[in-house]
Amino acid sequence: MHLRTALKFAVLGQFAFLVRAGVSDPAQLDACPGYKAKNVFTLGPKLTADLVLAGKACNVYGTDIEHLKLEVTYESSSRIHVKITDPSDARYEVPESVLPRPQANLFTSPHFAAIQFNYTTSPFSFSIFRASTHEVLFSTGAHPIIFEPQYLRVKTDLPANANIYGLGEHTDTFRLPTHNYTRTLWSRDAYGVPQGTNLYGNHPIYFEHRTTGTHGVFLVNSNGMDIKINDTESTGTTLEYNVIGGILDFYFLAGSETDPTEVARQYADVVGTPAEVPYWSFGLHQCRFGYQNFVDVANVITNYSAASIPLETMWTDIDYMYKRRIFTVDPDYFPLNRMREIVDYLHSHNQHFVLMTDPAVAYLPGEGYGPFDRGTAADVWLKAANNSSPFLGAVWPGVTVFPDWFNPKTQDYWNNEFEMFYSPDTGLDIDGAWIDMNEPSSFCNYPCTDPFEQAREQDLPPARTSSPPDPNTPIFETTTLQKRVDHSHDDVQNPPYHIANFAGSGALSDKTAYTDAIHANGLIEYDTHNLYGTMMSTATHNAMLARRPGQRTLVITRSTFAGAGTRVGKWLGDNFSQWDHLRQSLSGILGMASVFHIPMVGADICGYAENTTETLCARWASVGAFYPFMRNHNADTSISQEFYRWPTVAEAARNALDIRYRLIDYIYTAFHQAHTDGTPVLNPLWYKFPKDANTFGIDTQFFFGDSILVSPVLEENATSVSAYYPDEAFYDFQDLSRTYVKGGGVVELTDVNLTSIPVAIKGGAVLPLREKGAMTTTQLRETDFEIVVAPALDGTASGSLYLDDGISITPKTKTTVSFTYSHQKLTVKGTFGHPTGVDVARVRFLGVQNAPRSVKLNGQAVSKSAMSFDLTKGVLDVSLKIPFSRGFSVEYQ
């Protein structure tokens, strides 16, 4: 099968198993000899064994390695680490400098672990099973392990119609298909984010959910791979890893029999908990690739204000650069003094500013371009295969070099460039950083023998198409590894097993840094390619910390690997202004936030490329208000799509932002909890209703935080939506009326006009909401709270609130509040270390069936004038207007 044909099949969700070395049928791999386990030795929580080839080698994509080493460690009562290596060869492993590993508990007893490792010696196979039920969770069974220099294969059996989530980044359904399905992990610049292809990020973790429990499997490997899921009559349902390098390094996570979010917390124990972000970052962000000059940028800011749409942060894409060179401004179109004027204006209005920074540095020897000259002097560039000259690509500024993030001098170089260009005194005082093109992307078609010629052919850097403005134009006056790995015998450009890479010709080096490019520590891009974006993320996070020591950073990236969320957030890349891309964004944010631990995530609202419509943009503005990271952004080839440009979109944005801003403290609290223990910030329905099989495939609804059910309209011209309500009380967020479908079922939500979005509160929640009207997060923090009590069917509810200064990594003061409700009494307790500076304006009790006879605040009767009751909606309002500086109780009879 020709490679292009194989890629086409991969895009269609077909198996793309290339015919190599005489293997015409993937099932033939199950006839390979596998290994025998010898010298099995167990000591405490650790088992070791030698694995010896059990028969005549298959040699399907190379020569089978005859002797392997097995190491199994019970690292905790809920985590087993299984590692298979070649003891005779220093094979590549994901460096701990990129992904630090958790420490094992040396006193873990396998006998009391929630999951168990079982094995057979001849032929060697292993399984992981749940100790309490003996249910097998992972089993290589009749599928022999294949271990070759450039091909590793492990295959496990799955239940029929398995519920598999993760293995991203992708734009497929949140619950992955199980028939002829391939997930390819190899970072690429994925314009248009085509469904069924490899995209920007790589997270080889999956959660499997069953009504008997949820568990996780994480393969720590950054090499290119195809992960295939298929169901056939002969083999049943299987999941198969096909990896082109590295080692087999698995973490098996027990999860829980009752709470799916437990497996997310266990995964956080391995890759780290998500970073806390600044309070202001939850506001609305606006950007466009195509703002022509500084006047455009300033006018957008004032137009948002004139439209009464709360804009928190203004962004600027690469337009501001001189000839697309990073760490420059165009003196004619974006002069430094006028850009500083914009930044000062934003800061004086409690707003913020973010700029784009790409990794590719223009290759300009002898032209006085400081970022290139300083990087060359420090020798920090990624090297070509000869290990002497820099690797050259072609990106926006033309021919470029790329920082080598493994070079120990690169961090100092990056810090210095950020300090110089983003200086509050002499440069542009940014509040956050946006990093793009870090797969790394190159426009050079493989083989890129002459990047200079390709840059000329592609007109890089592109010329300006408009005249510069008068530099004195008034603004803001109108309302408009560390081990060296031997690859000398490997074909790293054209490996024997071809993963289904969708970039260009499909060659691994196409549209990116060559796989034989060499890092300072001897590693090559063949092994580390999928880490480049995450390593740039770390370096940028550190550079921002150096600018503002002690303050949280907001860094938004495009390419990620496991663990990236400990430092950065992400957007889902270059989507299109299409209805199916709006729908796909929901599964995308669910994957990042609820599985991969990158909760500060969002998609380009209204779409990046192509022209949006008023209807699509209105619906997307409403949905985007429930992305943790909310940004409107589109391309220079599209019409402008700022929310204020259509009356309907402006109203939809105002309405949705009103809900979002009232919920910011609620979601800020959820982020703090996620940072503390890995509890997800977004939740698919089955996380909260794990026994309800109807929820397992739903990805057109989700929980924002723990308790806010979002059920958006995702079809053009529709004014209703069929929403699934599980077996619990739900309350409409706007009118607070209750809905309950016994046993769970579909509710037809009608008359959902273009400026609204169905949002419901799950019963059992106490929500600390702000009152309406804030235009910035600074103003929001000066706005009173109202407490909404939404009882569950059992009559109880609970919630929490976390407050601090909103910016410090280690805040000096904190306020932590718990809310509990039962027997018609709300009890508020906490430690009020950080002054709220505001009042609790009122408490709203939902689901009240009868008019109350009396209401008491801290045991004292409340005047009747402070109470109001809506019998139709079942809402009791109690006005308090008390300082939110201590605990209190409110009860009614």
pLDDT tens readout for residues 626-657: 999 999 999 999 999 999 999 999 999 999 99
Overall average pLDDT of the 423-446 stretch: 97
SS3 label, residue 740:
coil
What is the bridge-based pairing of β-strands 203-210 and 163-168?
Answer: antiparallel
C-alpha 392/C-alpha 379 separation (Å) is 14
Q: What percent of the chain has pLDDT over 70?
A: 96
Kindly report the backbone phi and psi dihedral angles of residue 61, in degrees, each rounded to the nearest multiple of 5, phi listed first. Answer: -130, 30
Categorize the per-residue pLDDT at 800 as very low, low, confident or very high, splitting at 50, 70 and 90: very high
Is 70 exceeded by the pLDDT of residue 680?
yes
Overall average pLDDT of the 223-250 stretch: 95
Q: What are the tens digits of pLDDT across the range 92-142?
A: 999 999 999 999 998 999 999 999 999 999 999 999 999 999 999 999 998
Residue type, 52: V
What angle, 0 to 180 degrees and rounded to 10, lies between the N-to-C axes of helices 614-624 and 647-677?
Answer: 30
Kindly report the backbone phi and psi dihedral angles of residue 552, in degrees, each rounded to the nearest multiple of 5, phi listed first. Answer: -60, 150
Overall average pLDDT of the 20-48 stretch: 82
Per the annotation, the verdict on 436 as an active-site residue is yes
Mean pLDDT of the chain: 95
Structure tokens at 110: 């396998």
Is 50 exceeded by the pLDDT of residue 438?
yes
pLDDT of residue 28: 81
C-alpha 624/C-alpha 284 separation (Å) is 9
Is 50 exceeded by the pLDDT of residue 200?
yes
Q: What are the tens digits of pLDDT across the range 837-855?
A: 999 999 999 999 999 999 9
Overall average pLDDT of the 25-44 stretch: 90
Calculate the CA dihedral of residues 198, 203, 207, 208 and round it to 10 degrees.
40
pLDDT of residue 485: 86
Categorize the per-residue pLDDT at 27 as very low, low, confident or very high, splitting at 50, 70 and 90: low
What superfamily in CATH does domain 3-271 come from? glycosyl hydrolase (family 31) (2.60.40.1760)
Structure tokens at 568: 């950065």
Q: What are the tens digits of pLDDT across the range 536-592?
A: 999 999 999 999 999 999 999 999 999 999 999 999 999 999 999 999 999 999 999
Contact 169, 155 (CB under 8 A): no
Contact 611, 638 (CB under 8 A): yes
Q: Which are the contacts of 279, defined by CB distance < 8 A and separation ≥ 6?
A: 664, 668, 777, 781, 806, 807
SS3 label, residue 130:
strand
Calculate the CA dihedral of residues 606, 609, 610, 616 and round it to 10 degrees.
-10
Catalytic pick from 30, 296, 436, 804? 436
**Among 125, 120, 171, which Cα is nearest to 144's?**
125
**Domain extent listing, the chain:** 3-271, 763-893
Is 80 exceeded by the pLDDT of residue 10?
no
Catalytic pick from 169, 439, 525, 692? 439
pLDDT of residue 26: 63
Overall average pLDDT of the 298-303 stretch: 98
Q: Which residues pair with 630 in a beta bridge?
A: 284
- State the residue for tokens 């400081």: 370
Q: What are the tens digits of pLDDT across the range 406-421?
A: 999 999 999 999 999 9
pLDDT of residue 14: 30
Per CATH, 3-271 and 763-893 having the same topology is answered yes
pLDDT of residue 483: 56
Is 70 exceeded by the pLDDT of residue 872?
yes
pLDDT of residue 505: 87
What angle, 0 to 180 degrees and rounded to 10, lies between the N-to-C axes of helices 579-590 and 614-624?
Answer: 10
Is 90 exceeded by the pLDDT of residue 4?
no
**Among 584, 534, 591, which Cα is nearest to 559's?**
534
Is 80 exceeded by the pLDDT of residue 803?
yes
Contact 236, 157 (CB under 8 A): yes
Overall average pLDDT of the 781-806 stretch: 98
In the DSSP assignment, the letter for residue 27 is G
Kindly write down the DSSP assignment for every residue of 167-190, as one continuous string.
Answer: EES-SS-SBPP-SSEEEEE-----
Q: Decide which of 3.40.1190.20, 2.60.40.10, 2.60.40.1180, 1.10.10.10 is the CATH code for 763-893.
A: 2.60.40.1180
C-alpha 363/C-alpha 444 separation (Å) is 14
Q: Which residue has the higher pLDDT, 288 or 7?
A: 288
Q: What are the tens digits of pLDDT across the range 459-505?
A: 999 999 999 999 999 999 754 444 568 898 899 999 999 999 999 88
Categorize the per-residue pLDDT at 235 as very low, low, confident or very high, splitting at 50, 70 and 90: confident
Catalytic pick from 172, 429, 525, 574? 574
C-alpha 251/C-alpha 109 separation (Å) is 17
Rounded to the nearest 5 degrees, what angle is found at the Cα of 374, between the Cα atoms of 292 and 425? 55
Q: Which residues pair with 633 in a beta bridge?
A: none
Is 70 exceeded by the pLDDT of residue 5?
no
C-alpha 516/C-alpha 25 separation (Å) is 31
Structure tokens at 48: 């070791």
Per the annotation, the verdict on 439 as an active-site residue is yes
- State the residue for tokens 């094995």: 119
Overall average pLDDT of the 313-338 stretch: 98
